[in-house]
Structure 1
Amino acid sequence: MSAADADPTLNERVTGAIGDFNNDILWAWGVIPLLVVVSLYFTFGSGLVQIRMLPEMFRALRGTPEQAPDGKKAVSSLQAFMISAAGRVGTGNIVGVSVAIALGGPGAVFWMWTMATVVGAASFVEATLAQLYKVRDRSGYRGGPAYYMERALGQRWLGALFAVILILTFPMVFNAVQSNTIAGAIANSSETLGLGSGAWLSAAVGVVLVVVTGLVIFGGVRRIAHTAQALIPSFAALYVVLGLIIMAMNWQVLPSVLALILEHAFGLREFGAATLGTVIIQGVRRGMFSNEAGLGSAPVAAASASVTHPVKQGLVQTLGVYFDTLLLCTVTAFIILLASDGSVDSGLAGDLAQQAVMTSLGPWALHLMTAIILLVAFTSVLGNYYYGESNVEYLTRSSGALIGYKSAFLLATFLGALGSIDLVWTLADTTMGAMALINLLAITPLAGIAFRLLKDYNQQRREGRDPVFTRDRMPGLRGIECWESEEEVASGSRARG
């Protein structure tokens, strides 16, 4: 045993202690059982909305937003989808899947697929509630779990607690994960090119990220939405094509890779490595980090959309879960597993995807992956910022507080490029688990409202109408600010949230 093994550093001891708490208590006995039970309740209570209404999800993407109080167009349904995709489509799709496979084995992929299908119902419920209980602001709308916790449950303190944890999780911890991943990917390319790497390179990457990010976030939610709308389809298409090329090159072994995933998923080959519990925990945890269903973050973006019925954005956000996990995460999984025999080096967890692409296509592909990771993580940084801004505005409307938040966000962006990825990922698991617990406990008693909204939506669709929600269609609900009455709609313009 080496001296390093015998005397771990303080960073290693802290990371290990927090990791043990996450694995043995927070996720194993808290988040995962609650997520499964609640998602199954939402699935059957909604009549399998996440499967039955898949075609409707694509139709709901269409729509023209209304004019916001500042005279410009409010955020459209598609743009809100892109903002949430900016948060979802990040390092969780590449590095998160790599970590899941490294720590939980190939079987973790199966549990990511399974949970994405089940938790789609949770995404529908939380996004629909966020739409119903959103509030107006100068550029359109804002909302999310903190808002429905106060307006629907009457628990301002719970909304404030959630807002604080979200601000710690996304703008701070998750943001550090993104910048850390960007710095690591660029360092890999730099070393391959013989340019070297080190603290100087990480610092340089951090400075550039701060400057570019600042140029976008100081332009407000519209600039974030437009940037995400411009970048996400491009790099998603590029990444999917890259994965399809690698699959086509290895088509003969695709069946064996699928078999490997299934064998490991149920612990048939895990007795000498990870246990079945570890496989499930890693799959579910990284899946939630990637698609955010039930976590309470995507509803913040969903609330910003200008739509005619809350269910429309609930359906759109459910589609986002599939886009993220069943498409992009699957591409990453196959890229990694096709380049190996199923046994991967956990020491390379964060770099598995890059190494796998290089193995399949040659050294030049490492730089292509660096470019993809850079774009993916950068858009996620923007999504993380918006999540935090909306919740800072829930806590206070002070302009000084918002400036302070922006400064702290940019500082986290810089420090993340310099930090330890092990500690950053471990902290992300902890704060994400706390967020999920609070949000899932809040939306469970409110699910009946989402089911009633879905019934109203389907009734209008059967009548051949484009569904329009007005507050008097569900009398007795408290805390609704944005949805007009039938009389207001008849005397004015089209009803919108």
Structure 2
Amino acid sequence: MRDRMELINTIIDKANDLFWGYILIYGLLAVGLFFTIRLGFLQFVHFKEMWRCVLGSGETDKDGISPFQALTVSLASRVGTGNIAGVAVALTLGGPGAIFWMWMVALVGMATAYAESTLAQLYKSHGPNGMYRGGPAAYISRGLGMPWLAAIFSVALILSFGLIFNAVQANSIAEAVALPIQNFLVNQGMFALEPESGMSAFVAAKIVIGVVVALLSGVIIFGGIPSIARVAEFVVPIMAGLYLLAAVIALILNIDRVPGILSGIVLNAFGLQETVGGVAGGVIAAAMNGIKRGLFSNEAGMGSAPNIAAVATPAPHHPSSQGFVQALGVFIDTLLVCTATAVMILLADVIPSQELTGVNLTQAALGDHFGNLGQIFVGVAIFFFAFTSIIGNYSYAENAVIHLGGGKNGIIALRLGLMAMVIWGASQAVATVFNFADASMGLMATINLIAIVLLSGTVVAVTRDYLAKRKVGEEPQFSISQHPEIAPGVSRDIWS
């Protein structure tokens, strides 16, 4: 049995080396550059359009959610503990220049996010109870005519985003907030701090946290995607807004150092300045760690966010408008939230090291800026960032279950499975299973990248239609009858 597990772990490690060491690192960048050029640098030229598509209408119909809700659900998944801990790790391993490469990845990734979410909107259909459903599985199946590949994609998505990543997020929550609960259990005499036998107070505290988080998640996810959208619409703007506010305050308190920090990030990325804010890093380390952190954080090209993009009722009624919305999500995640973490660390009197990295480094930085309140704030931020990631991830997996024909029973099984994984993940070391999730996500991302490149001509046709109508002052409305070349697989009921 042990030999079999070692073999499985070796295969998973090799798959991850292949996906994340070669295929995706270069593939995600190449596809981002490809769409940036082919779409005429759309994310720069039409940046204002992204905001117009988000804020243009808060209304929706009975079959979908609003553009703003779709944005907040995707941000709920994108903005997770990686924005707090992952950025700190990138700084530790790659130096300040890593932040510059994160920016570059996000800027080209915005074009990829636009393309995949535009396709998700175009190929969406009515699912059970009439709600819009779609995503990469839909455009792989109906756009490329490869239902077998769409099925593989859906299974990989369910395993990674529906189950395993949620165990990881629950583990992050438990690690962040277990200490006060542990102390309470010890003070009440319910558990010993370090018992000779049996369960320790710390493990008991993590299990309690897991159960609470699972129940809270269940209350929301059993209400379906509309319930998730309502929660995300309320929580995510507050969560991200307070975090960005903390960064703004830190900037104001250290305004004299800000120009040097920002210019130093750029110079360090090219080896023209060795240290910034006491942090050093080489050119290659900066590039690799910044690129990887950026790709993991913004999820552009992964095939995750298009699943919620397909559920939206776009405003205006055109596939491209939801593409613009999700491109903005990449900007907010990396250019704003990740940068906020990096700047607060670099402006603080803390130096990354092997002893002080990840969440501990970010807590130390905010402690330097705001005292004990800053450290408490990081713990609260981790809870909400991770919790909203759980419900956001679930929304993606639900679409995949629907695509596979899971129906009501399949959805209930997914919900119960997610709650079980949250409880398990809160109390266990999740390194091995996280490696499996990385391999699963690597597979789905590879499939998605191939699909959107093959369908790039469709993306261009839809985009030209949108921009041409905007140019003459017309509200873009998409009709598939005007585009017979891309009509196969597109719902005429929705896009008539």
Identify the TM-score tier after normalising by the shorter chain.
Answer: 0.7 to 0.9
Residue equivalent to 2:196: none
Alignment of 1:69-468 (within 5 A): 74-137=64-127, 138-187=129-178, 198-266=202-270, 269=274, 276-307=283-314, 308-340=317-349, 343-345=352-354, 348-420=357-429, 422-423=431-432, 426-468=435-477
Work out which of the residue numbers 52, 63, 69 in structure 1 matches 2:57. Answer: 63
Letter of the aligned partner of 1:92 in structure 2? G
In 2, distance between residues paired with 1:139 and 1:331? 40
Q: Contact 1:469–1:483 at 8 Å: present in 2 too?
A: no
In 1, distance between residues paired with 2:375 and 2:51? 34
Q: Contact 2:480–2:495 at 8 Å: present in 1 too?
A: no
Q: Contact 1:310–1:453 at 8 Å: present in 2 too?
A: yes
The Cα RMSD (Å) is: 2.9
- Cα distance 1:262–1:165, how it changes in 2: closer, same or farther (>3 A)? same
- Cα distance 1:190–1:284, how it changes in 2: closer, same or farther (>3 A)? farther
Letter of the aligned partner of 2:307 in structure 1? V
Letter of the aligned partner of 1:213 in structure 2? S
- After TM superposition, give the deviation of residue 198 of structure 1 in Å: 1.4
- Cα distance 1:65–1:255, how it changes in 2: closer, same or farther (>3 A)? closer
- Cα distance 1:393–1:187, how it changes in 2: closer, same or farther (>3 A)? same
- After TM superposition, give the deviation of residue 155 of structure 1 in Å: 0.6
- Cα distance 1:42–1:188, how it changes in 2: closer, same or farther (>3 A)? farther
Aligned length: 472
| Greater Cα offset, 146-155 or 337-346 | 337-346
In 2, distance between residues paired with 1:17 and 1:85? 32
Any stretches of 5+ residues in structure 2 without a counterpart? 188-192, 194-200
In 2, distance between residues paired with 1:28 and 1:293? 17
In 2, distance between residues paired with 1:254 and 1:422? 37
- Cα distance 1:364–1:347, how it changes in 2: closer, same or farther (>3 A)? closer
Letter of the aligned partner of 2:97 in structure 1? G
- After TM superposition, give the deviation of residue 92 of structure 1 in Å: 2.2
- After TM superposition, give the deviation of residue 90 of structure 1 in Å: 1.5
- After TM superposition, give the deviation of residue 12 of structure 1 in Å: 12
- Cα distance 1:483–1:99, how it changes in 2: closer, same or farther (>3 A)? farther
Residue equivalent to 1:54: 47
In 1, distance between residues paired with 2:9 and 2:179? 24
User: Secondary structure of 1:437's partner?
Assistant: helix
- Cα distance 1:243–1:18, how it changes in 2: closer, same or farther (>3 A)? farther
- After TM superposition, give the deviation of residue 258 of structure 1 in Å: 2.7
In 1, distance between residues paired with 2:8 and 2:367? 34
In 2, distance between residues paired with 1:219 and 1:28? 39
Q: Contact 2:83–2:338 at 8 Å: present in 1 too?
A: yes
Scaled by the length of structure 1, what TM-score is found? 0.87
Letter of the aligned partner of 1:145 in structure 2? P
Residue equivalent to 1:34: 27
Q: Contact 2:61–2:313 at 8 Å: present in 1 too?
A: no
Residues 374-433 of structure 1, C-alpha deviations (whole Å, 9 max, x = no match): 112111111001011110111123322222111111111112212336546544543333
In 2, distance between residues paired with 1:13 and 1:192? 41
User: Secondary structure of 2:485's partner?
Assistant: coil
Residues 444-495 of structure 1, C-alpha deviations (whole Å, 9 max, x = no match): 01011111111101111122111100111211324444344xxxxxxxxxx7
Q: Contact 1:105–1:342 at 8 Å: present in 2 too?
A: no
- After TM superposition, give the deviation of residue 14 of structure 1 in Å: 9.7
User: Secondary structure of 2:132's partner?
Assistant: strand
In 1, distance between residues paired with 2:256 and 2:473? 48
- Cα distance 1:322–1:358, how it changes in 2: closer, same or farther (>3 A)? same
In 1, distance between residues paired with 2:415 and 2:457? 37
Residue equivalent to 2:36: 43
- Cα distance 1:66–1:349, how it changes in 2: closer, same or farther (>3 A)? closer
- After TM superposition, give the deviation of residue 367 of structure 1 in Å: 1.4
User: Secondary structure of 1:304's partner?
Assistant: coil
| Greater Cα offset, 254-263 or 450-459 | 254-263
Any stretches of 5+ residues in structure 1 without a counterpart? 1-10, 485-494
Identity of aligned residues (%): 39
- After TM superposition, give the deviation of residue 292 of structure 1 in Å: 1.0
Q: Contact 1:143–1:300 at 8 Å: present in 2 too?
A: yes
